Chain A
Amino acid sequence: MNLPWLTILILVPLFGGIIVAGVGAEQRRLARGLTLAFSLVGLTGALCLWQHFNAASGELQFVERHDWVPSLGIQYFLGVDGLGLLMVMLTAIVVPLSILASWRIDDRAHIYDALVLWLQAGLFGTFTALNFFHWFLFWELVLIPAFFLIKLWGGPKRGPAATQFFIYTMVGSVTLLLSFLAIRLATGSFDFIELANMAKRGEITAKLGDAIGWQSHIGLLVFFGAFLGFAVKVPVVPFHTWLPGAYTEAPSPVTMLLTGVMSKMGVYGFLRILLPIFPEQMRLVLTPLMWLAVLTIVLSACTAFAQRDLKRILAYSSINHLGYCLLALFAVTGAAAGVNQPELQKAAALDGVLLQMFNHGLTASSLFLFVWLIEKRSGGLRGLEDFGGIRKIVPVFTGLMGIALFSSLGLPGLNGFVGEFLIFKGVFPLAPWAAALSTIGLLVTAVFLLTLIQRVFCGPLNGRWAQMPDLTRRERLLVAVPIVLMFVLGIWPQLVLGTVDATVVKMVQQLNF
């Protein structure tokens, strides 16, 4: 059974996309069916991986490694640990949901579907490739379908939104690329694992200084280049301004993908690349980084409170939720002097980060799914003030979306709670001031989500919606999947934590020196 499973997993949607694009516009149903089939094959593959994954080991598994361009140090290098596997699972779950949600998008459906499948291939690749060249290929591959999905199927201001999204991300990618070229020049390696080991021995900064000059400054410069690449993607305030536009203008099924999985690419980059390769530099600028994380959390929550468009509210809330991941990420790089059992706290915080990534992917994408369902009923209206009192008309919808909103708010018993709890449990002893300030974010989030519930579902009924149909059976089935998962993970987070535990322990060890 030594088949190259990860390669197959990536190739299925890649070739699936080509096949679907070739089906042509006339046979829309066939294209749709094939797309769903390919994405379900992806899901099955991911489940098989999960089944065969040895959770007791934090090492890379399903490794494939071949020489590619030896003279440039490029290898074909795939593998997953708990982190990679979790992200592959998330992708495999969110993509079919998004495809089902977009079932009624009829304009050039075959192209739309092909783009979604290519996006999935890019995501699978990003989360499994471990050589910079190989990884960057997929990192950028994701961008093109995302751009066109926004540009061609988006809302009224899709053009500027897509361009802004693309340019921002590309600026980040270019600085990231330049940084890695400097690293390759200095160390002779593109291999993330090898680079992490070098960083652990403290060699990278010295080598950069030798190869390029400017002694310690070059290390910081290279770090900032790489940082920018991921910071734009997550996004970190103040590099977030592309996000509200892109999330709002994209059709909601695409927003599901953007927020559900693509935003995780940034956090994944922090965990896989920045943290292991630049621990020295991160420590040097730790305080400003912590401030950035706090700022991200608080500002985005406050901005969300001021929004009047459901999608914009959720977009800012998405920045807010990933802010907690960043907070924990930065906190664990600190030296943690004088902290009782720092390894335990760091492990808790990192466990929280991984859990939060998965949970946010699930919750945020299902929230956008709900917005999509309500948009379809209201003819595109989605202002906070456009509705009112519809809980009597659409009780099932109200109940289910309420569950998702409470999950996002972090209600105990639902999935959102566990991740945020672990993050705060870990961060409080490591950086008390930052954790304390960040709780403002929690508070404001509660306020704006409750406001949302109040304005949309409660109060006097807006007469326009007296005839609004409730969820159909198919729609109920569709939303049931994420809702059930929310409960399952809320009650039994061990399902995820068990998979990532060994990986987290290894990450913490990697950071201790």
Chain B
Amino acid sequence: MLAWTIYISFIGVLVLMLLPREAARAARIIALLTAIAGCAVAFVGAMQQANPGEVITIVKVPWIPSLGANYFLAADGISLVLVVLTGLAAIAGILFSWNIEKRTKEFFAYYLALIGGVYGVFLSFDVLLLFVFYELTIIPKYFLIARWGSTRKEYGAMKLALYSFVGSHLVLIGLIAAWVVARAQTGHATLDLMELSKVSFPLGFQHWVFPLVFVGFGILAGLWPFHTWAPTGHVAAPTAGSMLLAGVVMKLGAYGCLRVAMVLFPDGARMWQGEIAALAVIGIIYGAGVALVQKDFKFVIGYSSVSHMGFVLLGLATLNTIGLSGAVLQMFSHGIIAGLLFAVVGRMVYDRTHTRDFNDLQTMQLGKLLPFAGVTFVLAGVASMGLPGFSGFVAELQVLMGAWKVFPKTTMLAGVGIVAGVAYTLRAVQKAFYSDAVVPEKSGHDHPLEPISMPERIGAVMLITASLVIGLFPGLLLNWIQPCLNSPLFERLLKGGLL
């Protein structure tokens, strides 16, 4: 059933391509319906999975038998969380790009292709298939930014594409090496994640191949110092593009780190644990610190994503159940909240005021002109600060608890990052919406701002509700995540393999 999330998205792409060029409205509606259908399938499929701790095979047919590659889609609880996130983010992204007039149908075709690829990555349990879907997402995201973006869009798009390619080549080298070693050890070729995870790779091999694969995926997760694509890419992208980049594409990287790098090379993960934690915490503090001094509203959110993904990586580095569970929850939470933040900045503010410079925004009194945008940003900001009641808190709580156990000093540094996070959010709230700056005479209300439209309202309410529900009832997702972490797939990672 869950496989239909992928198929529906690509069917949507086909239908959109058949539409006549002028049919912008039809394109929007078809895209929205496709996304809703995908999300509904994701929900229903997730609900049907009786035992989220188990990897349930959806489809498994031989693909390239000589390599041992299968078309193998499956899902466990962690996949479910991310598939549901993708479904929600996809709908929200379309609602916030309702005003795209330029080549609408192509925009949505690329958009749905990206979504389809993302679903594919989260559901693949064959490393080659996962890699193919992973690569597939690079193309639509390049075109989305290069064609519909703003502010140095070609540069941002190219930088993102190049970083992604470098990352995926590191991954590819690592996977080929793993395939060779696994074949030498077991005597038959396999690319099946479940089978590979049972292979005991030699320690020396894991020592060099783990960082290769981890960093390869980590680039897309905003791992410091390979994060620099993220702020420029996010800023250059159109609103829906930044929402997807921050909301799900960065999760692809983190998911790859966990599902492939860490599960296949658990001892390698243990050897490099300290280094990953250090990079993660540098990312947290650096991202927050840089966000604190930005002049461009969107750059603040861009760097905040780097900071928040640092918590995901820190959670991964703890290598204990609570930390990993926090990391997965943080992926979900950041996906929702960052999406919302980008929606406010890109759609609600920038599309109306045509500026993202704090110096200009300060004089506009947006809190009074666009009260809905102000309130939404405050709520999203509060959620992003990690205040209790919202999903970010439960996630950070678990990550930090896990981190206390392994890296007490690092944990305290992460606390500094949280405080900096509060500071930049507060600064953005004040500068963009509730500034006390004196309004200059001429910038009157000669062009009244277009009021917040219904799709925007629906999208914002949907995302805030999702964050609140998970913040107040984290059990809904933890019941999916935690049984997974106790499953055999993660046993060697959490209980220690050879080491």
**A127-169 residues at the B interface, CB under 8 angstroms:** 133, 136-137, 140-141, 143-144, 148, 151-152, 158-159, 163, 166-167
Tell me if A174 and B419 are in contact (CB < 8 A). yes
Within the assembled complex, what's the spacing in Å between the Cα atoms of A137 and B389? Answer: 6
**B353-401 residues at the A interface, CB under 8 angstroms:** 378, 382, 385, 387-389, 394, 397-398, 400-401
**A182-215 residues at the B interface, CB under 8 angstroms:** 182, 184-185, 211-214
Tell me if A178 and B412 are in contact (CB < 8 A). yes
The answer to whether A174 and B387 touch (CB under 8 A), given A69-B475, A151-B434, A214-B408, is no
Q: Which chain B residue shows the least CB distance to A211?
A: B405
Tell me if A151 and B388 are in contact (CB < 8 A). no
Tell me if A140 and B415 are in contact (CB < 8 A). no
- Interface residue from B385, B415, B430, B474 paired with A159 (Cβ < 8 Å): B430
> Any chain A CB within 8 A of the CB of B482?
yes
> Any chain A CB within 8 A of the CB of B203?
no
> Which A residues are in CB contact (< 8 Å) with B304?
none
**A40-89 residues at the B interface, CB under 8 angstroms:** 68-72
Bits for B417-455, please: 1 = Cβ < 8 Å to A, else 0: 011001100110010001110000000000000000000
> Any chain A CB within 8 A of the CB of B404?
yes
Q: Which chain B residue shows the least CB distance to A158?
A: B436
Tell me if B430 and A174 are in contact (CB < 8 A). no
Tell me if B430 and A136 are in contact (CB < 8 A). no
> Which A residues are in CB contact (< 8 Å) with B418?
174
Tell me if A166 and B422 are in contact (CB < 8 A). yes
Tell me if A159 and B436 are in contact (CB < 8 A). yes
Within the assembled complex, what's the spacing in Å between the Cα atoms of A144 and B388? Answer: 12
Tell me if B388 and A136 are in contact (CB < 8 A). yes
> Any chain B CB within 8 A of the CB of A181?
yes
Within the assembled complex, what's the spacing in Å between the Cα atoms of A106 and B482? Answer: 51
Tell me if A170 and B475 are in contact (CB < 8 A). no
Tell me if B419 and A185 are in contact (CB < 8 A). no
Chain A binding surface SS class: helix
> Any chain A CB within 8 A of the CB of B86?
no
The answer to whether A72 and B478 touch (CB under 8 A), given A167-B426, A185-B405, is yes
- Interface residue from A69, A148, A175, A185 paired with B415 (Cβ < 8 Å): A175
- Interface residue from A137, A140, A159, A212 paired with B408 (Cβ < 8 Å): A212
Tell me if A185 and B436 are in contact (CB < 8 A). no
Within the assembled complex, what's the spacing in Å between the Cα atoms of A77 and B176? Answer: 53
**A245 CB, nearest partner CB in chain B, Å:** 14
> Which B residues are in CB contact (< 8 Å) with A148?
378
Within the assembled complex, what's the spacing in Å between the Cα atoms of A171 and B427? Answer: 16
| Residue of A151, A158, A166, A174 with most chain B CB atoms under a 10 A cut-off | A174
> Which B residues are in CB contact (< 8 Å) with A133?
388, 397
Number of A-B contacts (CB under 8 A): 83
> Any chain B CB within 8 A of the CB of A282?
no
> Any chain B CB within 8 A of the CB of A218?
yes
> Any chain A CB within 8 A of the CB of B411?
yes
Tell me if B419 and A170 are in contact (CB < 8 A). yes
Q: Which chain B residue shows the least CB distance to A138?
A: B388
**B143 CB, nearest partner CB in chain A, Å:** 40
Q: Which chain B residue shows the least CB distance to A178?
A: B415
Within the assembled complex, what's the spacing in Å between the Cα atoms of A79 and B4? Answer: 49
**B428 CB, nearest partner CB in chain A, Å:** 12
Q: Which chain B residue shows the least CB distance to A212?
A: B408
Q: Which chain A residue shows the least CB distance to B398?
A: A72
- Interface residue from B322, B398, B404, B426 paired with A212 (Cβ < 8 Å): B404
**A379-408 residues at the B interface, CB under 8 angstroms:** none
**A410 CB, nearest partner CB in chain B, Å:** 38
- Interface residue from A71, A166, A218 paired with B475 (Cβ < 8 Å): A71
Within the assembled complex, what's the spacing in Å between the Cα atoms of A158 and B437? Answer: 12
Can you show 30 pairs from A to B with CB atoms below 8 A apart?
Answer: A68-B475, A69-B394, A69-B474, A71-B475, A72-B394, A72-B398, A72-B474, A140-B389, A141-B389, A143-B387, A151-B430, A152-B434, A159-B430, A159-B435, A163-B430, A166-B422, A167-B422, A170-B422, A174-B415, A175-B415, A178-B400, A178-B404, A178-B415, A181-B397, A181-B400, A181-B411, A182-B408, A185-B401, A212-B405, A213-B408
Seen from chain A, the residues whose Cβ lies within 8 Å of a Cβ on chain B are 68-72, 133, 136-137, 140-141, 143-144, 148, 151-152, 158-159, 163, 166-167, 170-171, 174-175, 177-178, 181-182, 184-185, 211-214, 218
Other A-B pairs beyond A69-B394, A152-B434, 6, CB < 8 Å: A72-B394, A141-B389, A158-B436, A174-B415, A175-B415, A184-B401
